[in-house]
Amino acid sequence: MKKILFLVLVSIVSLQVNAQSKTGTIDTEYILSKMPELTKVQEDLKAYNTKLEGELKTKVDDYQVKVKDYQDKVASFTDAMKKTKQEEIIKLENDIAKFRQNGAQLVQIEQNKLLQPLYKKIGGALEEIAKAEKYTQVFTITSSGLAYVDPKYDLTKTVMNKLGIKDEAPKK
Protein backbone atom coordinates (compact mmCIF):
# COMPACT_ATOMS: atom_id res chain seq x y z
CA MET A 1 0.00 0.00 0.00
CA LYS A 2 2.84 2.37 0.84
CA LYS A 3 4.48 1.63 -2.51
CA ILE A 4 1.25 2.46 -4.40
CA LEU A 5 0.77 5.70 -2.48
CA PHE A 6 4.41 6.61 -3.13
CA LEU A 7 4.03 5.89 -6.87
CA VAL A 8 0.86 8.01 -7.07
CA LEU A 9 2.59 10.88 -5.30
CA VAL A 10 5.63 10.66 -7.60
CA SER A 11 3.33 10.60 -10.64
CA ILE A 12 1.48 13.70 -9.51
CA VAL A 13 4.72 15.60 -8.85
CA SER A 14 6.16 14.61 -12.21
CA LEU A 15 2.96 15.69 -14.01
CA GLN A 16 3.11 19.06 -12.32
CA VAL A 17 6.74 19.51 -13.31
CA ASN A 18 5.89 18.67 -16.94
CA ALA A 19 2.89 21.01 -16.92
CA GLN A 20 4.99 24.12 -16.33
CA SER A 21 3.12 27.30 -17.03
CA LYS A 22 4.48 29.95 -19.34
CA THR A 23 4.09 33.47 -18.02
CA GLY A 24 4.65 36.83 -19.65
CA THR A 25 4.15 40.51 -18.97
CA ILE A 26 2.61 43.44 -20.81
CA ASP A 27 2.65 47.18 -20.26
CA THR A 28 -0.80 48.18 -21.49
CA GLU A 29 -0.36 51.82 -20.50
CA TYR A 30 2.77 52.08 -22.62
CA ILE A 31 1.00 50.52 -25.61
CA LEU A 32 -1.97 52.84 -25.08
CA SER A 33 0.33 55.88 -25.04
CA LYS A 34 1.72 54.86 -28.46
CA MET A 35 -1.64 54.14 -30.13
CA PRO A 36 -2.55 56.69 -32.82
CA GLU A 37 -6.21 56.44 -31.76
CA LEU A 38 -5.29 58.06 -28.44
CA THR A 39 -5.12 61.48 -30.13
CA LYS A 40 -8.81 61.22 -31.10
CA VAL A 41 -9.71 60.13 -27.56
CA GLN A 42 -7.85 63.13 -26.13
CA GLU A 43 -9.60 65.48 -28.57
CA ASP A 44 -13.02 64.00 -27.72
CA LEU A 45 -12.30 64.26 -24.01
CA LYS A 46 -11.23 67.90 -24.41
CA ALA A 47 -14.47 68.62 -26.32
CA TYR A 48 -16.49 66.94 -23.58
CA ASN A 49 -14.68 68.98 -20.94
CA THR A 50 -15.40 72.18 -22.92
CA LYS A 51 -19.07 71.19 -23.11
CA LEU A 52 -19.21 70.71 -19.34
CA GLU A 53 -17.49 74.05 -18.79
CA GLY A 54 -20.09 75.68 -21.06
CA GLU A 55 -22.91 74.12 -19.05
CA LEU A 56 -21.32 75.36 -15.83
CA LYS A 57 -20.94 78.87 -17.28
CA THR A 58 -24.62 78.87 -18.27
CA LYS A 59 -25.61 77.89 -14.73
CA VAL A 60 -23.35 80.56 -13.19
CA ASP A 61 -24.65 83.22 -15.59
CA ASP A 62 -28.25 82.28 -14.77
CA TYR A 63 -27.41 82.44 -11.07
CA GLN A 64 -25.82 85.89 -11.42
CA VAL A 65 -28.84 87.22 -13.35
CA LYS A 66 -31.23 85.96 -10.65
CA VAL A 67 -29.10 87.44 -7.86
CA LYS A 68 -28.89 90.83 -9.62
CA ASP A 69 -32.63 90.77 -10.34
CA TYR A 70 -33.30 89.96 -6.69
CA GLN A 71 -31.01 92.76 -5.45
CA ASP A 72 -32.55 95.28 -7.84
CA LYS A 73 -36.16 94.47 -6.93
CA VAL A 74 -35.94 93.28 -3.31
CA ALA A 75 -37.55 96.48 -1.98
CA SER A 76 -40.70 95.88 -4.04
CA PHE A 77 -41.13 92.20 -3.07
CA THR A 78 -43.55 90.93 -0.49
CA ASP A 79 -42.19 88.63 2.20
CA ALA A 80 -43.56 85.59 0.35
CA MET A 81 -41.92 86.73 -2.94
CA LYS A 82 -38.60 87.37 -1.13
CA LYS A 83 -38.69 83.87 0.32
CA THR A 84 -39.51 82.30 -3.07
CA LYS A 85 -36.71 84.22 -4.84
CA GLN A 86 -34.22 83.35 -2.08
CA GLU A 87 -35.14 79.66 -2.37
CA GLU A 88 -34.60 79.83 -6.15
CA ILE A 89 -31.17 81.40 -5.64
CA ILE A 90 -30.21 78.83 -2.99
CA LYS A 91 -31.36 76.02 -5.30
CA LEU A 92 -29.17 77.43 -8.10
CA GLU A 93 -26.19 77.68 -5.71
CA ASN A 94 -26.68 74.03 -4.74
CA ASP A 95 -26.99 72.98 -8.39
CA ILE A 96 -23.74 74.78 -9.25
CA ALA A 97 -21.92 73.21 -6.29
CA LYS A 98 -23.21 69.74 -7.20
CA PHE A 99 -22.29 70.22 -10.87
CA ARG A 100 -18.75 71.25 -9.91
CA GLN A 101 -18.46 68.30 -7.55
CA ASN A 102 -19.69 65.80 -10.15
CA GLY A 103 -17.70 67.35 -13.02
CA ALA A 104 -14.51 65.40 -12.31
CA GLN A 105 -16.47 62.17 -12.03
CA LEU A 106 -18.28 62.86 -15.31
CA VAL A 107 -14.95 63.48 -17.06
CA GLN A 108 -13.54 60.23 -15.62
CA ILE A 109 -16.59 58.27 -16.77
CA GLU A 110 -16.31 59.76 -20.26
CA GLN A 111 -12.57 58.99 -20.37
CA ASN A 112 -13.22 55.36 -19.40
CA LYS A 113 -15.92 55.11 -22.08
CA LEU A 114 -13.59 56.51 -24.75
CA LEU A 115 -10.61 54.35 -23.73
CA GLN A 116 -12.56 51.09 -23.46
CA PRO A 117 -12.34 50.25 -27.20
CA LEU A 118 -8.57 50.81 -27.14
CA TYR A 119 -8.10 48.51 -24.15
CA LYS A 120 -10.35 45.97 -25.86
CA LYS A 121 -8.17 46.14 -28.97
CA ILE A 122 -5.02 45.61 -26.88
CA GLY A 123 -6.71 42.74 -25.04
CA GLY A 124 -7.72 41.06 -28.29
CA ALA A 125 -4.21 41.24 -29.70
CA LEU A 126 -2.76 39.98 -26.40
CA GLU A 127 -5.19 37.05 -26.34
CA GLU A 128 -4.22 36.00 -29.87
CA ILE A 129 -0.50 36.19 -29.07
CA ALA A 130 -0.88 34.42 -25.72
CA LYS A 131 -2.77 31.53 -27.35
CA ALA A 132 -0.39 31.30 -30.31
CA GLU A 133 2.71 31.31 -28.12
CA LYS A 134 1.09 29.15 -25.42
CA TYR A 135 1.27 31.61 -22.51
CA THR A 136 -0.78 30.49 -19.54
CA GLN A 137 -0.50 33.76 -17.61
CA VAL A 138 0.32 37.35 -18.52
CA PHE A 139 0.82 40.00 -15.88
CA THR A 140 0.26 43.70 -16.39
CA ILE A 141 3.48 45.45 -15.43
CA THR A 142 1.90 48.75 -14.41
CA SER A 143 -0.31 47.28 -11.69
CA SER A 144 1.29 43.98 -10.72
CA GLY A 145 4.07 45.27 -8.52
CA LEU A 146 6.55 42.76 -9.90
CA ALA A 147 10.07 43.30 -8.61
CA TYR A 148 11.79 41.57 -11.53
CA VAL A 149 10.71 40.43 -14.94
CA ASP A 150 12.91 38.85 -17.56
CA PRO A 151 12.46 41.10 -20.63
CA LYS A 152 12.24 38.10 -22.95
CA TYR A 153 8.77 37.39 -21.48
CA ASP A 154 7.48 40.95 -21.98
CA LEU A 155 4.81 40.85 -24.69
CA THR A 156 4.44 44.64 -24.97
CA LYS A 157 6.44 44.93 -28.21
CA THR A 158 4.80 41.84 -29.72
CA VAL A 159 1.31 43.28 -29.09
CA MET A 160 2.39 46.66 -30.47
CA ASN A 161 3.67 44.95 -33.64
CA LYS A 162 0.40 43.01 -33.97
CA LEU A 163 -1.53 46.30 -33.69
CA GLY A 164 0.79 47.98 -36.23
CA ILE A 165 2.10 50.52 -33.72
CA LYS A 166 5.59 51.82 -34.37
CA ASP A 167 7.81 52.44 -31.35
CA GLU A 168 10.13 55.39 -31.93
CA ALA A 169 11.50 55.61 -28.39
CA PRO A 170 12.93 52.63 -26.52
CA LYS A 171 10.73 51.40 -23.67
CA LYS A 172 12.16 51.85 -20.20
Q: What is the pLDDT of residues 85-127, one digit of tens each?
A: 999 999 999 999 999 999 989 999 999 999 999 999 998 999 8
- Dist CA 98 CA 112 (whole Å): 21
Share of the chain above pLDDT 70, in %: 83
CB atoms within 10 A of CB 50: 10
Q: Is the predicted pLDDT of residue 25 greater than 80, yes or no?
A: yes
pLDDT > 90 fraction of the chain, expressed in percent and rounded: 52
Instruction: Identify the structural domains of the chain with CATH numbers, from first to last.
Output: 19-163 (3.30.910.20)
List pLDDT tens digits, range 57-81. 999 999 999 999 999 988 898 999 9
Q: At residue 54, does pLDDT exceed 50?
A: yes
